[in-house]
Amino acid sequence: MVGCNFKGMAETGSFADRVKQQADIVRVIGEYVRLKKSGQNFTGLCPFHGEKTPSFAVHPVKQIFHCFGCGKGGDVFSFVMEMEKCPFPDAVRIVAEKCGIPVPSPKERTPEERKENQQRAALIEIHRGAQAFFVRQLESTAEGRAARAYLEDRGLNAETIARFGIGYAASGGDVLLRQLKPKYAEKLLVESGVISRDQSGARLFDRFRRRITFPIANESGKIVAFGCRALGDDLPKYLNSPETPIYSKSNVLYHMDRAKEPIRRQDFAILVEGYMDAIAVARAGIGNVVASCGTSLAEPQIKLLGRFTKRVIVNYDPDVAGQAATERSLTLLLEHDFEVRVLALPAIGDQKADPDLFIREKGAEAYIKLLKEAPPYVDYLIARARQMDLSTGEGKQRALNFLMPYVQRIPNRLLRSEWATRIAQQLRIDEPVLRAALNKSATERRSEVKVAPQLVGKPAKQIERRLIRMLAEAEGFKRELAQRLQHGRLYEGLETEKVFAALIVAGLSDEPIPATEIGAQLDERERRVFFEILFEDAQEPTWEEAESCLDALRRRQIEQELAKVQKTIEANPSGAGLRELLERKQELMKQLTAAGQPG
């Protein structure tokens, strides 16, 4: 959303806060998940992980959701952010719209922002106009009809041409310019990238001439650039829009606007090189395909993709440039924790096959079959290394040098070791030698590889669970409870110490702090424990119960100190300071008696 003024948190009195108060989480989530009432909660099949029995719960009173399977949880906004893969302000707007709460029009804060927004809006409008114009050219001019024949020759029928908005830029040199000039300032037209200025600066002309045009949309479906292919032998064969205020090629993936839903649903994406490839694959009924529209993938593109899935099949062209691009992209994808497979299409006759050619020649079925069999990237790399000359020691070293950087990037140690064995076997390299090389490079690695966080902690003890629940919900005495816990430092050293710390801060604050905000301050593992406790069926807590829980914690504290003192006494037979230690022991024993027996 352009120029949106929502903040990242639901501040009291903010629009987000109002939406949260008025929104019904059951109704909003119910639009995505079939929910059934179960006790005081609603349950259903978790949309974030595959399951057959419901472990996903929504709490209508606390207005939170939690999955006992995968651990995802939060409030209505975090649910929508996760489902729609959108930022917070968009989630607020979506929830507001679903609940019929009027959304205030976004306000720009400064005159510069207003100017920028106006400029962006005008640039998008120019692209919309140019798109309509290119489509008309393809349909209704003699030149356009020739272009159309060429497309049909490549197997693109009228339905596909319409579906992907394919158009034609005429050869005249100022055909589009004449359309746009009456409506927009020259400066803006040049900024849009569809119009160029000659070197003298005096004359404007159409950037794209005698070319097939492919509109490139941003993630939300707005056309922000064009990719154009020469009709004849004109060079360059492909010419794309330059970088503009609304388009940066490293930020956009072709077909992402339509692919994001199938990608999310199937939890993997197919990555191809060009728009013709993406169109060919999408036409074959495989919607989860995107194109990088350049020889290699850029980091922002990977981050964009990573919002929808962490699994990708790379299917770049089999030529040298394509191989190099595949290998560069692999490096980046692995660094971003993607699970990568590589599809290298077999040649057709003596022609190397890109996805477009392969599907035209062999059909969608054959492509889908290969897609399913696509090997993990390490197998692909080993196959590449085996093409090198392995008959000499030098050759083997080269092959090893080629493979090693990728193997190092495997985050999982066991997996890394498994691959080392395979590489040793396949390249006939002495395994200890290879392992030594791997270990050496592992210690030299700049950044330590992240290990997936252990999400499932030890279940918290019953006393901790009860106290956490009281701290979160016992309106009558939670402040008193927080003070007692804080004063006696009774929660220190508990498994759930961090949950207590966050709840105590919240309990002592003058304003009520919702559970989701407390959860947001916790690590994933702790938030999970916290939410599970909130969803437990439990009876109303009483102050008596709270006190008995506090007593138990106090006893635990004393017992721990007592054990420590005892240990010091035993480890110190010389008797130095023994008197003090024994006195302390006596004192602790007395306290323990006063704290009562567990019961």
- Where on the chain is the footprint of Zn ion (CB under 5 A)? 46, 48-49, 67, 69-70
Whether residue 573 has a cis bond before it, omega within 30° of 0: no
Of the two residues 46 and 271, which places its CB atom closer to Zn ion in the complex? 46
User: Is 67 or 470 the residue whose CB approaches Zn ion more closely?
Assistant: 67
Edge to edge, the sheet with strand 311-314 lists: 289-291, 269-272, 311-314, 339-342
Cα(502)–Cα(513) distance, integer angstroms: 11
Please choose, from the candidates 392, 391, 385, 388, the residue with its C-alpha nearest in 3D space to the C-alpha of residue 407: 385
Question: Least distance to Zn ion from the beta carbon of 460, Å?
Answer: 20
Q: The tokens of 336 are what? A: 């971003």
- Taking the complex as a whole, the smallest distance from the CB of residue 522 to Zn ion amounts, in Å, to 18
Q: How far apart are the first and last CA of the chain?
A: 58
Q: How far is CA 280 from CA 134, 276, 286, 356, 361, in A?
A: 21, 6, 9, 5, 11
Please, which residue, 133 or 531, has the CB nearer to Zn ion?
A: 531
Distance CA 345, CA 446 (A): 34
Which one, 59 or 148, has the nearer CB to Zn ion? 59
Residue 46 or 94 having the CB closest to Zn ion: 46
Q: Which of 114, 113, 169, 102 is nearest to 141 (CA)?
A: 169
Question: Given the DSSP bridges, would you call strands 211-217 and 167-169 parallel, antiparallel or unpaired?
Answer: antiparallel
Beta carbons within 8 Å of 48's beta carbon, 6+ residues apart: 56, 67, 70, 72, 82
User: Which 3 state secondary structure label does DSSP give 168?
Assistant: strand
Q: Give the C-alpha separation, 400 to 34, whole Å.
A: 52
Of residues 48 and 238, the one with the C-beta less far from Zn ion: 48
Give the whole-angstrom CA distance, residue 340 versus residue 320: 20
- Our CB check for Zn ion shows the closer of 67 and 399 to be 67
Q: How far is the CB of 146 from Zn ion (least distance, A)?
A: 54
Using CA atoms, how far apart are residues 164 and 158, in angstroms rounded to an integer? 10
Task: Report, in Å, the least distance between residue 339 CB and Zn ion.
Answer: 19
Burial of 352 (0-12, 13-18, 19+ CB in 10 A): middle
Q: Which is nearer to Zn ion, 80 or 190 (CB)?
A: 80
SS3 54: coil
How many angstroms separate the CA atoms of 398 and 464, rounded? Answer: 58
For the bound state, the minimum distance from the C-beta of residue 56 to Zn ion, rounded and expressed in Å, comes to 6
How far apart are alpha carbons 473 and 515 in whole angstroms? 9
Best CA proximity match to 67, nearest among 84, 88, 51: 51
Angle value at C-alpha 41, between 39 and 43, nearest 5 degrees: 105
The single-letter code of the amino acid at 539 is Q
Query: What length is written for the chain?
Result: 599
Which residue's CB is nearer to Zn ion, number 54 or number 144? 54
Shortest separation between residue 81's beta carbon and Zn ion, angstroms: 15
Q: How far is the CB of 43 from Zn ion (least distance, A)?
A: 12
Work out how close the CB of 48 gets to Zn ion at its nearest, in angstroms, rounded to a whole number.
Answer: 5
Give the Cβ contact number of residue 419 at 10 Å: 21
Q: Would you call 88 helix, strand, or coil by DSSP? A: helix
Which residues touch 593 (CB under 8 Å, ≥6 apart)?
A: none
Q: Which is nearer to Zn ion, 51 or 335 (CB)?
A: 51
Pick the closer one to Zn ion by CB: 79 or 419.
79
Minimum Å gap between C-beta 536 and Zn ion is: 18
Nearer to Zn ion, 31 or 547 (CB): 31
